[in-house]
Amino acid sequence: MKTAFPKNFLWGGATAANQCEGAYNVDGKGLSIQDFMPDGVMKPPGKTIEERNLKLEGIDYYHHYKEDIALFAEMGFKVYRFSIAWSRIFPNGDEEKPNEAGLKFYEDVIDECRKYRIEPLITLSHYETPYHLAKTYDGWRSRKMIEFYTHYAKTVFTRYKGKVKYWLTFNEINSLWHFPYMGAGILTPKEKLSKQDLYQAAHHELVASAMTVKLAHEIDPENMVGCMVLGLVNYPRTCHPDDIIAVMKENRKGFFFTDIHMRGYYPFYTKQMFEKENIHIQMEDEDMEILKNTCDFLSFSYYMSKCIAKDDSQYEKGKGNLTTGVKNPYLKESEWGWQIDPQGLRYILNMYYERYEKPLFIVENGLGAMDELVQTDQGMCVEDDYRIAYMNDHLLEVKKAIDDGVDVMGYTAWGCIDLISASTAEMKKRYGFIYVDRNNDGSGTLKRYRKKSFYWYKEVIASQGLNLIEK
Ligand code: BG6
């Protein structure tokens, strides 16, 4: 018999400041690394602010947030994940005193959410390190970043005490391996960075994250802090033992972060790897003690899975979310070549839960597609049945994982309102339940329209998932 999702399940949606707010230089905001990425991760960062960087204006959420949150409330959101642009609070990142206008803006956003009983879930750092920190300190390669970041975290924890309970420290912290500039504000080009450099930067972020967990609990014991990783499901391309071992190694690149975040110490496999690769992480005496401040929950994004083979040269490669792998012959793909795998979501939920037995939160999932706004009997709408099918199938797998016994706190659909894509910096790759009239060339009225999926998701929330259709 079909059963509903748990009563306290946190249904909602997610956005990131740099992809929706716009107003990049308004009310004292400083520049962020994103202001120098007009092409997303497709090209190395430029030195000047490019004319056609869609993120500079975004969907102008900065001036539309009330209208947008009202639409989220209409869908019945219980939670809304958004990020604070660090450079609105500390324009350069290393100041002592915060920018009051920035603090006030997010306070208004939080109050607007609370008005509708929507719980804010705030990401402290979502690919938007202040540019000054990248330029002056080479981002997270410098240990100084720990001080700046924890000062920022303390400032917002104190200001929003009692109004915000759920926090995430770093968005997709494991993206550091693939895109050090976007992931960790490191200006030095990737090809000039050694493994040593990357692991050192990772260490700084992990220490900062653990210190932030401690701070959050001290400031308000009600606070719950999660880590956030790019959730990657790696399947062996064949059952050859070589491929199985290749998967084991690949998985450890991601487990490295979740193991430290959730267990509070460097996992056993790093010892041998560091020796082999001649990696020596510089640590302060107190670091090991600090790392013991583990996260309250683990959150992750999930869009796709990929295959791994020891020798991948003989297989067709697939595209993917910040990473690539070998194509899986059993799966279909999105218009951007990301392979769609709902069962992978059940698999990864079980995998993390087996490993840590701590609550999990799916904080990103969705389908990037080219939508068409058409005239219907009900007015202008996007008939996005493909998105409904994608989410229906993924949510059914979430329910199966819950039935498997996994503790899943909630689900926030990515880009619940259309926004600028992170990897390609384009507008036409849309994820939302709400269509925003803005085009790749920057034209458009910025008017918002409800898509067909808007009404569908509203029904999912209202019925606690009972309207999901099993094939
Ligand atoms: C995640 C990021 O990697 O994927 C988001 O946290 C991003 O910021 C999302 O937008 C989807 O990726 P894209 O490139 O389609 O925007």
Structure tokens at 307: 């295959």
DSSP state of 381: E
Q: What is the DSSP pairing of strand 448-450 with strand 434-436?
A: antiparallel
For the stretch 289-338, pLDDT in tens is 999 999 999 999 999 999 999 999 999 998 887 888 899 999 999 999 99
- Tokens representing 287 are 């670091």
- Angle 9-106-439 from CA coordinates, rounded to 5°: 85
To the query of whether residue 364 is one of the catalytic residues in this protein, the response is yes
Residue 32 β-bridge partners: 130
**Phi/psi zone of residue 45: left (φ > 0), alpha (ψ -120 to 50 degrees), beta?**
beta
CB 423 within 8 A of CB 42: yes
- CA-wise closest residue to 10 among 160, 162, 121: 121
In ligand 1, which atom is closest to the CA atom of 368?
15
Token pair of 404 as six digits = 């498997």
Q: Which atom of ligand 1 is nearest to the CA of 175?
A: 3
Residues 6+ apart with CB under 8 A from 289: none
CA distances 164 to 158, 225, 295, 331, Å, are 10, 11, 16, 39
**CB neighbourhood size of 331 (10 A):** 19
Residue 47: the pLDDT is 81
Pocket test for ligand 1, best of 232, 423, 428, 440 (most atoms within 8 A of CB): 423
Distance from residue 38's CA to the centre of ligand 1 (Å): 15
Orientation angle between helical segments 342-356 and 241-263, nearest 10 degrees: 60
Residue 239 near residue 308 (C-beta atoms within 8 A): no
Q: pLDDT (tens digit, 9 = 90+) per residue, 243-254?
A: 999 999 999 999
- C-beta neighbour count of 278 within 10 angstroms: 9
- Report the separation in Å between the CA atom of 65 and the middle of ligand 1, taken as the mean of its atom positions: 20
Q: Which two tokens stand for residue 331?
A: 């799966």
Centroid of ligand 1 to alpha carbon of 183 (angstroms): 12
The pLDDT value given to residue 145: 98
pLDDT of residue 44: 82
Task: Determine whether 67 is an active site residue.
Answer: no
Task: Kindly calculate the radius of gyration of the chain based on its CA atoms and give it in whole angstroms.
Answer: 21
Distance 224 CA to ligand 1 centre (A): 24
Both tokens of 30, joined, read 């400083």
- State the distance from the centre of ligand 1 to the C-alpha of 423, rounded, in angstroms: 6
**How far, in Å, CA of 178 to CA of 459, rounded?**
38
**For position 140, what pLDDT does the model report?**
98
Q: What is the pLDDT of residues 84-143, one digit of tens each?
A: 999 999 999 999 999 999 999 999 999 999 999 999 999 999 999 999 999 999 999 999
Low-confidence ranges of the chain (pLDDT < 70): none
- Cα distance between residue 155 and residue 150, in whole Å: 8
Distance CA(333)–CA(340), nearest Å, equals 5
Beta bridge partners of residue 230, listed in sequence order: 301
Q: Which of 21, 119, 364, 397 is catalytic?
A: 364
What pLDDT is attached to residue 126?
98
Ligand 1 atom, smallest distance to 40 CA? 14
> What pLDDT, on a 0 to 100 scale, did the predictor assign at position 43?
84
Nearest atom (ligand 1) to Cα of 16: 8
Which tokens go with 469?
């259709």
String of DSSP letters for 423-453: TT--SSSB--SEEE---TTS-S---EEE-HH
Pocket of ligand 1 (CB under 6 A): 16, 19, 171-172, 230, 301, 321-322, 364, 368, 414, 421-424, 429
Minimal-distance CA residue to ligand 1 atom 12: 422
The one-letter code for the residue type at 203 is: H
CA of 422 to the centre of ligand 1 (A): 5
Residue nearest to atom 7 of ligand 1 (CA): 422
**Amino acid (one-letter) located at 372:** E
Rounded CA separation 34/182 (Å): 8
Q: What is the DSSP letter of 464?
A: T
Which one of the listed residues 21, 119, 128, 172 is annotated catalytic? 172
